Amino acid sequence: MAGRRAAGNRVDLHRVRAELPAPVQDLVHEYERHLALERGLSTHTVRAYTGDVVSLLGFLHGLPVTPTDGTGSEPAGRAGQDDDTPDEPHGRPVAELDLPALRAWLAALRAAGTGRTTLARRSAAARTFTAWAHRRGHLATDPGVRLAAPRARRALPSVLRQDQAGDLMRASESGAAERDPVALRDRAVLELLYATGVRVSELSGLDVDDVDLDRRVVVVLGKGGRERTVPFGEPAARAVREWLAHGRPALARPTSPPALLLGARGGRFQPSSVRRIVHEALGSVPGAPVMGPHGLRHTAATHLLEGGADLRSVQELLGHATLATTQLYTHVTVERLKAIHDRAHPRSQ
């Protein structure tokens, strides 16, 4: 019920974008192309950044960009306008976007209940946009350089214990014993996710030629179009060999793409289907936390560090642009060690 209420209170940013003045819509489209073509960001990232900019520009032009409380009251006001500032038909023009306007937008989002993590992301998106707009001459100065935002609280991700990960892989191996094509594919999915720590979009984007079973490596195209080579172990190699020999030929069609993983109709296997497989498979592991494919990525990184891998190597394997992102997993391992200490040491309490 709560989920349905939340969905009902979501702002339709597509509608907001369509109601922006035509020159502003053109600006959004230009920025969207910059993110996709010049920066090479993923479709998901482009959509998120563009949506944040639409929210900002919609707020500037007096459009409702925060959920209402159902009372019919007017949405949070037009950014950057003081009481002595005359109203304008479309609020503040893009060329006059300034620091007070950015702060007013964030304040309206915060008042509407937006969390710290989302506020931090939207602040980053606004800074990226204002820097780009300044470089392109749409803004005389860049107000984003002075925009401070609440630091996001980085919650430690849920991960499987090593015995739980083993149970998950054994269950998938047992299911594939009959050489059912779907079961063989699902086993290869789980083994590769855990063995390599790749993102779900990276896994779905793999072609057959991206996998070298002799060397036991896979070539992955990651964020920003960055390519990296990731090794995997013999269990994953075994699962992929059996999938390629006995599973994929059964699902392939004459029109099938060269994708490593195929769906039941012979098309490229989609990330949403990978998520479903992971959720269903984890349901058979006693005590396993609720997680998706990204949880197996977290698990792989944590187990690598617990096994003695250095942080730089894990950064390279995961395809993190900065070491700071990988350092999250050092906190995960410390928390796990503390939990073990609390359970096992006679003087932990």
Domain assignments of the chain as residue spans, ordered by start: 2-146, 162-299
- Which fold is adopted by the domain 2-146? DNA polymerase; domain 1 (1.10.150)
Give the side-chain half-sphere CA count within 13 A for 44. Answer: 8
What pLDDT sits at residue 239?
96
CATH superfamily of 162-299: Intergrase catalytic core (1.10.443.10)
228 φ/ψ angles, rounded to the nearest 5 degrees: -145, 155
What pLDDT sits at residue 242?
96
Is residue 336 classed as helix, strand or coil in its secondary structure? helix
- Of 17, 185, 187, 320, the catalytic one is 320
What pTM was estimated for this model as a whole?
0.61
- Of 90, 268, 294, 336, the catalytic one is 294
Active site residue 338: no
Q: Which residue, 269, 276, 323, 332, is CA-closest to 300? A: 332
Question: Mind listing the pLDDT tens digit of every residue in the chain (349 residues)?
Answer: 333 333 344 678 888 889 898 889 999 999 999 998 888 888 888 999 999 999 999 888 888 877 643 333 334 444 334 433 333 333 344 767 889 989 999 998 888 888 887 888 899 899 999 999 999 988 989 999 888 766 655 566 788 999 999 999 999 988 888 889 999 999 999 999 999 999 999 999 999 999 999 999 999 988 777 889 999 999 999 999 999 999 999 999 999 999 999 999 999 999 999 999 999 999 889 889 888 898 899 899 889 888 888 888 888 888 877 777 777 776 666 666 566 556 666 665 6
What pLDDT sits at residue 169?
94
Active site residue 320: yes
Number of Cβ atoms within 10 Å of the Cβ of 205: 19
Number of Cβ atoms within 10 Å of the Cβ of 131: 15
The whole-angstrom separation of Cα 45 and Cα 4 is 25
Active site residue 294: yes
CB 103 within 8 A of CB 54: no
- Of 199, 248, 298, 303, the catalytic one is 199
Active site residue 223: yes
Active site residue 303: no
- Of 223, 238, 279, 336, the catalytic one is 223
The whole-angstrom separation of Cα 55 and Cα 49 is 10
The whole-angstrom separation of Cα 127 and Cα 314 is 29
What residue has token string 């036991």?
Answer: 216
Active site residue 17: no
